[in-house]
Structure 1
Amino acid sequence: MDLTAAAYQSVPGGPLDVDRAFYTAIRDRSPQQQSLVEDLTVPIRSGRAWVVPAGHVCRITTIEGPQVADLNIWSLADPRERMWAARTRQLQAAHVTEFDRLWSTLPFLRPMVTITGDSLRDYGEDSEGGRVHDLLGTRCDPYVNRMLEGEDFDYHCHSNLTRAIAPHALTEFDVHDVLNVFQCTGLNDRDEYFMKTCPAQQGDHFEFFAEFNLLVALSTCPGGDLSVPMFGEDAGDALSVCHPLGVEVFALDDELLAGWEQPRRAAYAGQHGMAGREWVDADRA
């Protein structure tokens, strides 16, 4: 028995076995098989939120140069359902790429998106153990900045995302652990989280397919490409290494969606052992 095998597995054809032929066809689609329905730019040290309808594709592009970004996703119908970074790490990987999925929180537990395009998919693991598109860490925020640096700064990713979702009647309590798009990270020999300079270049992209109607928000990190440390003795002003990001949403031809169905929420129908008052008596026993 392989003691280092993935803890969460399913049988062939099960919920973790993605239909690669279906998503490959979407990745390799022709320009004639899509139509642009949304085109926006996220300026430096800012955030934007937008809708991605079910069956549409969203592409994030480094339009001017390397830039890391923090991604949040909610169900458009019920924002209590949102991306679950921790479970995605267990079901997929700590760094994601094509054919991986981003999963939603309990009690929903279903794939929100499937990654269909990643121009950095061949980056793999570098000599320091770094990989891209990170679920290990989370967003930078003004609270930890105040704690470590003793100063207030309003343009961390947490704040950028908070401002981005405010027009959608959401607050900072709805901001959650992120996918760090284009970010290169890992764990060092002391099991500590590290961040490296972003390996993306102008024109790199990260693309995903919406499995149901979604609200998506993205922050362009104030650290830019992370070549300048954000914290510690070597910290500096990273403004010169910040770049905007482009976002496009595409509708797909019906032929590409043949046979696809939106995923249903988790099938668990129990009541966590709390039916009636039986659980109280069992606890007292």
Structure 2
Amino acid sequence: MGNHVEAAYRSGPGSKLAINKAFYNSLKEGNANRTLVDTVRVPMRDGVAWKVPAGHVFRIRVPEGPQVGDFNMWNLHDPRERMWASRTRQLQRAHVSTYDRLWSTLPFLRPMATIIEDTLEDYGEDADGGRVHDLLGTRCDPYVNYLLTGEDFDFHCHSNLVRAILPYGLTEFDVHDVLNVFQCTGLNNDDQYFMKPCPAKKGDFLEFFAEIDLLCAMSCCPGGDLSVDFLGRDGQDPLSTCHPLEVDIYKLDDQALECWVPPVSPAYKGMHGLASPAIDWQAKKDQI
């Protein structure tokens, strides 16, 4: 089945993708002094955006019951730099966990955040090939819903994210492919995307270290824990499976960050092979 085929991008010793695990371990709760500076509540079937300064930690948490969250992220100062799900999938994994990093789009291409703790890390791969925290799929949206059902519905994850970022001067065009937090997914024998009920329980969390100043946004998926059909094709309303999510933001003591250097973009100075031809201004004049 190709299980032993080498990854295209490798993060072994000496690789530019290798990270200092000891440093990120030192930032975990109990290993570094941290101060809670804010808690953001994301109501069920809604979306919220929040800021995280570089060098801070933010924890996406399950406060009540299982719930999937669709997560977006931008450079706070330049939203053209945003999370790049497909490249992260190539450089890291299709389902991310501790020590994986979320990378930004070209031409920036740098880690925006690094996962430092994941209480679902031991879930691994289940009997159906399902794993959690996926970059395989993307957000549910009203356009696909209308295509499949002919009905309008304003609380898809895409719509929730749009409403969340409007106060920050962003628009629908800034919403991008997501990290599906706490969502269990995989590919079936026909290479088709599947979703399973969310395995997260009250108290589970996924925790990140912000490598740069971030604007984050998350939608509480209207499918809830995905234990019933999202489009209602089985006659059940997923509202009963919906719960809120919460985000805790922590400031770390300066001492914890003494050896940390914010990531920079690759120093590519070429022009993609595009030459700037010399202009014959006399020929141009003669053509007039």
The TM-score with structure 2 as length reference comes to: 0.93
Aligned to 1:132: 132
Q: Is 2:221 the partner of 1:221? A: yes
Which position in structure 1 is the counterpart of 2:282? Answer: none
Mapped contact 1:228–1:235 kept (Cα < 8 A): no
Residue number in structure 2 paired with 1:27: 28
Q: Is the 8 A contact 1:185 1:195 kept in 2?
A: yes
- CA shift at 1:15, angstroms? 2.3
Tell me the CA shift for residue 234 of structure 1.
Answer: 2.3
Query: What does 1:1-285 correspond to in 2, within 5 Å?
Result: 4-9=5-10, 12-30=13-31, 33-231=33-231, 233-234=233-234, 236-277=236-277
Mean alpha-carbon deviation: is it higher for 167-176 or for 246-255? 246-255
Residues 197-228 of structure 1: per-residue CA shift (max 9 Å, x gap):
00000110011000010000010000000001
Aligned length: 276
What is the SS of the residue equivalent to 2:24?
helix
- Provide the C-alpha distance between the structure 2 equivalents of 1:14 and 1:190, rounded to a whole number of angstroms: 34
Letter in 1 for 2:8: A
Q: Deviations over 1:14-62 (max 9, x none)?
A: 32101000001112435x7011111121000000001000000000111
Sort the Cα spacing of 1:277 and 1:200 in 2 relative to 1 into closer, same or farther, 3 A.
same
Q: Which runs of 5+ in 1 are unaligned?
A: 279-285
TM-score relative to the length of structure 1: 0.94
Give the distance between the partners of 2:200 and 2:137, measured in 1 at CA. 19
Partner residue, 2:285: none
Question: For the Cα contact (< 8 Å) 1:95–1:136, is it kept in 2?
Answer: yes
Deviations 1:63-85 (A, max 9, x none): 00000000000001100000000
Q: Quote the Cα distance in structure 2 between the aligned partners of 1:236 and 1:122.
A: 31
- Tell me if the contact between 2:88 and 2:103 (Cα under 8 Å) persists in the aligned partners: yes
Q: Say whether the 8 Å CA contact 2:49–2:217 is kept in structure 1.
A: yes
AA partner of residue 172 (structure 1): E
Question: Quick check: which has more Rg, 1 or 2?
Answer: 2
3-state secondary structure, aligned to 1:167: helix
Does the 8 Å contact 1:45/1:242 carry over to 2?
yes
In structure 1, the partner of 2:281 is none
Give the letter aligned to residue 110 of structure 1.
R
Mean Cα displacement is larger for which, 178-187 or 32-41?
Answer: 32-41
Cα distance change on mapping 1:66 and 1:138 into 2, 3 Å: same
Q: Distance in 1 between matches of 2:36 and 2:90?
A: 34
Taking the aligned partners of 1:63 and 1:112, their CA distance within structure 2 comes to 25
CA distance in 1, matches of 2:14, 2:102: 18
Q: 3-state SS of the aligned residue for 2:139?
A: coil
Same amino acid, percent of matched pairs: 63
